[in-house]
């Protein structure tokens, strides 16, 4: 199947989600998903690694109620204006109409900062950082897509308070490093950090950074964001601290979050191939599948051998299974390849006799014999080689999806193929013209390209077709 083409890609994606039991989108509420074994496992791995890194960096774990009273959600006016069309409201409890409507959280700045004002007293309490992994709710009116755009989605959100603007900015630098480890090291995905234009920043933020990747169809997917909130929320929620001299000051804040579903979708679509999923070993629910190759009269011997191999892998903490179903070996290969299991071990009479296992790599298709005694020494090296190959291959494809354009002919030519670098004078009316052709995803200082509308110089921009 040709995966660079949008229709084929979409068909492939839905097929993989279903056959690999990642999610089921047939739950009878539009834009919601039922997560199944393969999806839950990968999301849990992402969540576990992220939470570990955040807590090492000083974040406290927390769980907030999913409901937010209307008066709290509406306190920061720009914030609520940005979300009002997307909020789900609870208006009744039993037969009674509620005095104060309750929102299902679209994000947690407002309820969390209501509590920050009770918790933060002195400079000794700062920096203060919390995080939670949870579901959020947004009434999306755009076309929904499983894991990519839904009305309920899973994420982790981090929130912080600092003594000043600079310390808040330092926290954003730390978050960049943590997300880089998550996206690039764990999931082997390439990304670029884009500073969103003013009109596309998070409602209530000073500025928004987005972690964007490029899907095989050339469209950009935002997988995480980080916002510098300045004093915008602390002034509204009255979050003050006493400094060393006894003076009361407002805290400076940041908030940030990756979408677990979008990270999973990017890993599925960027690493996948015509046979199905290709998973990096660290997030694969099964890292090695052992397929016994049985012949008449040799069954017990072969299963004993497969069990010995399994024990070895178990002792190393490697997630593995023996596929003992009564199926042809070819059907088993097809099944586990589709599910993205990184390594297949085949154990047949010849392998047993030679003291070897036959290894097949899912990512490259490479096959080779490995000494049974060498499994312990070689398996982690093999996993690392697979990760490196997935990361390098994805990075190479990513870098080929960048283009430069100086006029609308060029912008139109490259739109939908990746990220286009161009220029912008700084006038909003020119930006509106540009956005008729393609979404402006980043605005940076720099005068090396002219505005395609008026020819003026001011900023360096990136434009792309986005999900």
Q: What is the contact surface with Zn ion in residues (CB under 5 A)?
A: 425, 427, 430, 451, 453-454, 456
Residue 98, Cβ neighbours under 10 Å: how many?
Answer: 13
Q: Which is nearer to Zn ion, 51 or 433 (CB)?
A: 433
Report yes or no: 276 and 338 within 8 Å, Cβ to Cβ.
yes
Nearest CA to 110 out of 69, 72, 70, 160 is that of 72
In whole angstroms, how close is the CB of 440 to Zn ion at the nearest point?
12
Tokens of 351: 């392998």
Least distance CB 195 / Zn ion (angstroms): 19
Question: Please, which residues have CB within 8 angstroms of residue 200's CB and are 6 or more apart in sequence?
Answer: 208, 440
| Rounded distance between C-alpha atoms, residue 39 and residue 44, angstroms | 9
In angstroms, give the least distance from the CB of 453 to Zn ion: 4
Q: Output the smallest distance, CB 418 to Zn ion, in A.
A: 23
- At 78 the three-state DSSP class reads helix
Q: Tell me if 179 sits within 8 A of 258, measured CB to CB.
A: yes
Please identify, using beta-carbon distances, which residue of 303 and 457 lies nearer to Zn ion. Answer: 457
Smallest separation, CB 437 to Zn ion (Å): 13
CA angle 37, 41, 42 (to 5 degrees): 125
Task: List CB contacts of 310: < 8 A, sequence separation 6 or more.
Answer: 290, 320, 321, 322
| Other residues' Cβ atoms within 10 Å of the Cβ of residue 357 | 25
**Closest approach of Zn ion to the CB of residue 198, in Å:** 15
Output the smallest distance, CB 192 to Zn ion, in A.
24
Minimum Å gap between C-beta 406 and Zn ion is 12
Q: Could you give the CA distance from residue 450 to residue 461 in angstroms, rounded to a whole number?
A: 10
Contact predicate 439/466, CB 8 Å: yes
> 301 vs 433, which CB is nearer to Zn ion?
433
Closest CB to Zn ion among residues 341, 431: 431
Residue 316 vs 449, nearer CB to Zn ion: 449
Which of 172/453 has CB closer to Zn ion? 453
Q: Which is nearer to Zn ion, 259 or 422 (CB)?
A: 422
Name the 3-class secondary structure at 38.
helix
Whole-angstrom Cα distance, residue 401 to residue 380?
32
Closest CB to Zn ion among 321 and 450?
Answer: 450
The angle subtended at Cα 448 by Cα 446 and Cα 454, nearest 5°, is 100
Please give the Cα distance from 332 to 85 (Å, whole number). Answer: 48
Query: Least distance (Å) from Zn ion to the CB of residue 415?
Result: 18
Q: How far is the CB of 420 from Zn ion (least distance, A)?
A: 16
* Residue where the block lists tokens 């999923």: 277
Angle between helices 165-180 and 37-56 (to 10 degrees): 140
Nearest residue to 390 via CA among 239, 284, 316, 300: 284
Pick 11 or 198: Cβ nearer Zn ion: 198
| Cβ nearer to Zn ion, comparing 355 with 446 | 446
Tokens of 14: 């839905």
């Amino acid at each position: 199947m040709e995966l660079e083409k949008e229709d084929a890609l979409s068909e492939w994606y839905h097929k993989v989600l279903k056959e690999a039991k990642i999610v089921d989108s047939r739950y009878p509420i539009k834009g919601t998903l039922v997560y199944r074994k393969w999806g839950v496992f990968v999301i849990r791995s992402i969540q576990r690694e992220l939470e570990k890194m955040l807590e090492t960096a000083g974040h406290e774990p927390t769980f907030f109620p999913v409901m937010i009273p209307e008066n709290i959600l509406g306190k920061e006016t720009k914030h609520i204006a940005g979300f009002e069309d997307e909020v789900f409201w609870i208006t009744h409890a039993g037969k009674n109409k509620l005095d104060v409507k309750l929102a299902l959280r679209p994000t947690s700045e407002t309820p969390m900062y209501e509590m920050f004002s009770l918790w933060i007293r002195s400079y000794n309490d700062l920096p203060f950082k919390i995080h939670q992994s949870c579901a959020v709710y947004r009434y999306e009116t755009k076309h929904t897509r499983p894991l990519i755009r839904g009305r309920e989605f899973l994420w982790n959100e981090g929130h912080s308070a600092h003594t000043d603007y600079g310390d808040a900015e330092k926290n954003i630098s730390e978050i960049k490093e943590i997300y880089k480890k998550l996206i690039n090291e764990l999931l082997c995905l390439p990304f670029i950090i884009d500073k969103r234009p003013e009109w596309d920043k998070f409602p209530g933020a000073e500025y928004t950074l987005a972690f964007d990747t490029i899907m095989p169809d050339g469209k950009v997917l935002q997988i995480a964001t980080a916002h510098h909130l300045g004093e915008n929320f602390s002034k509204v929620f009255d979050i003050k601290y006493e400094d060393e001299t006894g003076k009361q000051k407002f805290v400076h804040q940041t908030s940030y979050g990756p979408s677990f579903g979008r990270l999973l979708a990017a890993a599925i679509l960027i690493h996948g191939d015509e046979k199905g999923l290709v998973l990096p070993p660290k997030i694969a629910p099964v890292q090695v599948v052992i397929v016994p190759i049985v012949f008449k009269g040799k069954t017990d011997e072969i299963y004993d051998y497969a069990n010995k191999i399994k024990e070895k892998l178990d002792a190393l903490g490697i997630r593995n299974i023996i596929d003992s179903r009564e199926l042809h070996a070819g059907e088993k290969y097809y099944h586990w390849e589709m599910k993205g299991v990184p390594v297949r071990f085949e154990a047949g009479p010849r392998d047993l006799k030679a003291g070897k296992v036959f290894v097949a790599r899912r990512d490259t298709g490479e096959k080779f014999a490995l000494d049974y005694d060498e499994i312990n020494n070689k398996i982690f090296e093999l996993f690392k080689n697979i990760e490196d190959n997935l990361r390098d291959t994805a990075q190479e494809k990513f870098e080929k999806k960048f283009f430069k354009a100086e006029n609308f002919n060029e912008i139109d030519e490259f739109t939908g193929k990746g990220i286009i670098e161009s220029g912008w004078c700084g006038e909003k009316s020119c930006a509106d013209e540009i956005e008729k052709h393609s979404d402006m995803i980043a605005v940076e200082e720099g005068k090396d390209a002219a505005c395609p509308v008026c020819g003026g110089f001011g900023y360096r921009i990136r434009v792309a077709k986005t999900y």
